[in-house]
Structure 1
Amino acid sequence: MKWFGVVSACVAFVLIGALQALYGPALSAFRADFGISVPAAGLALSAHFVGGIAGVLGYARSPWPGTGKLAASLVAMAAGAAGVALAPTWPLALVAAFVAGVGFGGIDYGCNDMFARAFQRRGSAMLNVLNAHFGVGAIAGPLLIGLLGPDRYPAIFLGFAAVSLLLLAGLRGTAEAPTAEPAPSPAAPRIGQRGLLAAFIVLYVMNVGVEAGVGGWEPTHLEALGHSASGAATATSVYWLMMTLGRFLVVPLTLRLSDRTIVIGSCLGIAVCLALAAVPGFAIVAYAGVGLFIAPVFPTALPWLHRSVPGASRAGAYVFAASMLGGVAFPPLLGAGIDVAGAGSVPVLIFVVNALCLAAIWHIVRTEAARRKTEYAATG
């Protein structure tokens, strides 16, 4: 993978981070322009995520080469963004958001999968660098709308589309030599395969649920503790900032520690921080800690998946698609729990979701140990 291909992929991740973050600040302008309700305006993000799932699965199943699939994803994202900017009716805008989401999903999964294959020993480090740029875009997108005003969203989406098309020139640097997937041992070709894949899906879905749960409900918890609305919003911004910084900061650790060690340590750190978040005096700092610890989990678990589940090309696609469902499903599910138990239950409910991450990791580690034991017995 050439250096300008790496740069192009990182810029593409800035774009998809910005795209996902643009919808929220633009909702008020959507409502004013199309005369729609708040729930109807919120369908834009739902259409985006549904498109993202379709984009991930379509990328994995397409027979095209990787550069062709990334090019198609960039074109779809550009067309969708332009459609959101120019749509004369709300249903057409939702269709456009879906198309943009298809491109989003293809780029998200395609670049992650390509980095995991291209950078063998440095895979975790490069994946964390790549995904950190998603956070850069997620921070920059709302800032741009804040500077220009929500009513200028058509110009912002059109500019986004133009930059997406400009990235097509860098795709020639993303073609990497094919790499072999780790093959299962002849002695035990299918030990725990389905269980491992299911456990990784649970890990990813629950981890994204923790990520989205804190991002969505931290302000509610902090306001219930007596913090102002602006102070709670600022603290939530710090949470996202710490997640972005965490992916850069973990890079040196990926060269010294195994993927498994980093993922386990991160999920344990999340658990400690969520427990501290239940203590009013520590809540703001604890949520920032959650952002720092959760940062490496998503990118670092991907190389672990590729090594643990032979033939993981399709498996990775299913894991990515399922993780997007977690981002859609968990905020309202947590909201239902908060409605019953009160705003003070936010860190407790999210702690339970993270405990399911740890349960999935425990199953993965046990299955890998059983596989090694069986392979050793068969060859010894």
Structure 2
Amino acid sequence: MVVRCAVLFGLLGLFQATLGPLIPLLRDREHLDAATAGLIVTAFFGGCLVSTAVGGALNDRWARGPLYITSAVLVLCGLGLLAAPFAWPVPLLAVAIAGLGFGGLVLIVNTVMAARGLTYVALVNGTYGLGAAAGPALISVTHGGFLFAVVAVGLLAVLPLRMAVPAVSARERLRVSPVLVLFCALFFCYAGIETGLSSWEATQLRAHGYAPDTASALTSLFWLGLATGRLLVPLVTRNWTGFRILVTALLACAAGLTLIAVEVSAPVGFFLLGMFAGPIFPTTLAWIAATLPHPRRVNAVALTVAMLGNATVPAVIGYGMQATSDLALPAFVAVFVLGCLGFVVTLRGATQRVESKE
């Protein structure tokens, strides 16, 4: 099942990574402004938000079967609509439908893998990054349609028949604690880093003077770096605490933002930013699993907030860049890096107090 989940996440990563490079392609094809074309990211993660929230609220009987099946069907339907040559706003509807299924699959797979430890959750999220690295390069060649059809066929081939989601007693209720709120805030800010960079990387590179197809293809570098960081973290940081991993990664991200502000170093800078940001998501999931009970429901709440960030932050950054400059991306992302650092430091003290009480 682990191998199937890893390949499944690779294909999901490939699909998500096409959204950023798809923005300039839609702008040219449909004659849209940047902020309007960028709504495909908001629509996609809006769908993810809804399905993640619903998935966390379901009881175990519904979470283990219907949620998984419905999520898979919705992703396939969304991909089918995107593969057809429909004009705007059908692509917006298609990504929203795909997002409804995407969120459910991400919740289920991450919950199953996080229960097994950092190595497994880093592995599946690392293959997510590998798939995402291929997405921008492929969409710059295919311009969408054929690629989305291939991804749909691939998903049909690798979807596991069932998922052994950790059970939650019907009498247990999720308690909203300060620690959970802090984890949610951390995930929201992390969305500003990963989704903010991946959504607007192609636009930033075009503003630096790179050709549209080149800028779309170079977006692969961020996702390749993300995969590298996630696959290396269990090996390089074997004896590190989650706190140390997160602080080191975030400080490195802050330094990496200076590289993408310069034309000549921007492509390398996006690769390094991906590598530095890579460990943040799986490390936080593993930290949650080790700290708080009821993994599916806790993950659902935290991931719902992350999806809220994914849905809103790219739009905010897009309108901000439109009001200032297409080269202002590093400044906007820096705000979320600093936010993550603040929440990680606060979480260390909060989790230590919880452990001491136990």
Q: Which moved more, 1:18-27 or 1:196-205?
A: 18-27
Structure 1 segment 89-100 matched on structure 2, within 5 A: 90=88, 93-100=91-98
Q: For residue 109 of structure 1, report the CA deviation from its aligned partner.
A: 1.3
* Residue of structure 2 in register with 1:167 after alignment: 158
SS in 2 for 1:327: helix
Residue 158 (structure 1) aligns with: 149
Q: Give 1:328 shift.
A: 2.9
- Matches of residues 229-378 of structure 1 in structure 2 within 5 Å? 229-230=210-211, 236-253=219-236, 255-274=238-257, 285-338=268-321, 346-375=329-358
Q: Specify whether residues 70 and 274 from structure 1 end up closer, same or farther in structure 2 by C-alpha distance, changes over 3 A only.
A: same
Q: Indicate the SS of the match to 1:250.
A: helix
- TM-score between both structures, scaled by the size of structure 2: 0.82
* Among candidates 107, 110, 113, match of residue 111 of structure 2: 113
The range that moved more, 99-108 or 213-222, is 213-222
Q: Deviations over 1:175-199 (max 9, x none)?
A: 367599xx9xxxxx98xx5221121
In structure 2, what is the Cα distance between the partners aligned to 1:66 and 1:216?
32
List runs of 5+ in structure 1 lacking aligned partners: 184-188, 376-380
Deviations along 1:28-74, one digit per CA (max 9) or x if unpaired, are 776898x6745665444433222111221222223325355323321
Task: Tell me by how many angstroms 1:91 deviates.
Answer: 5.4
Deviates more, 1:258-267 or 1:65-74: 65-74
**CA-to-partner distance for each residue in 1:355-375, whole Å, 9 max, x for gaps?**
110111121111122234444
Moved more, 210-219 or 263-272: 210-219
Supply the distance in 2 between the matched residues of 1:268 and 1:19 (Cα, whole angstroms). 29
1:57 and 1:358 mapped to 2: Cα distance?
26
> Match of 2:224, as an amino acid?
L
SS at match of 1:366: helix
TM-superposed deviation, 1:241: 1.7
1:323 Cα deviation from its structure 2 partner: 1.3
Alpha-carbon distance change, 67 to 261 in structure 1, aligned in 2, over 3 angstroms: farther
Q: Name the CA distance, whole Å, in 2 between partners of 1:279 and 1:139.
A: 22
Deviation, structure 1 residue 329: 2.4
How much has 1:112 moved relative to structure 2?
A: 0.4
8 Å CA contact 1:70–1:171 kept in 2: the answer is no
Structure 2: which amino acid aligns with 1:228? G
Distance (whole Å) between structure 1 residues aligned to residue 328 and residue 90 of structure 2: 39
SS of equivalent to 2:177 = helix
Q: 1:247 to 1:29 in 2, by over 3 A?
A: closer
Residues 1:154 and 1:309: Cα distance change in structure 2 (over 3 Å)? same
SS of residue in 2 equivalent to 1:229: coil
> Higher relative CO (CA 8 A, sep ≥ 6), structure 1 or 2?
2
Query: Could you say if the C-alpha distance between residues 276 and 70 of structure 1 is closer, same or farther in structure 2, counting changes exceeding 3 Å?
Result: same
Structure 2 residue aligned with 1:19:
15
| Paired residue total | 351
Q: 1:40–1:370: structure 2 CA closer, same or farther, 3 Å change rule? A: closer
What residue identity is the alignment partner of 2:96?
A: F
Aligned-residue sequence identity (percent) comes to 30
**Distance (Å, rounded) in 1 between the aligned partners of 2:318 and 2:86:** 33
Partner Cα separation in structure 1 for residue 234 and residue 75 of structure 2: 29
CA RMSD of aligned residues (A): 3.6
Q: SS of the counterpart of 2:236?
A: helix
Contact 1:275 1:351 in 2 (8 A): no
Query: What secondary structure sits across from 1:247 in the alignment?
Result: helix
Render the CA deviation track for 1:3-38: whole Å, top value 9, x for unaligned.
Answer: xx11111121122112223345556776898x6745
Offset from partner CA, 1:103-156 (integer Å, 9 cap, x none) = 111111110011112x1xxx1111111011212222223333334x32xx4443
Change (3 A) 1:339 1:369: same
Larger Rg: 1
Q: TM-score normalised to the size of structure 1?
A: 0.77
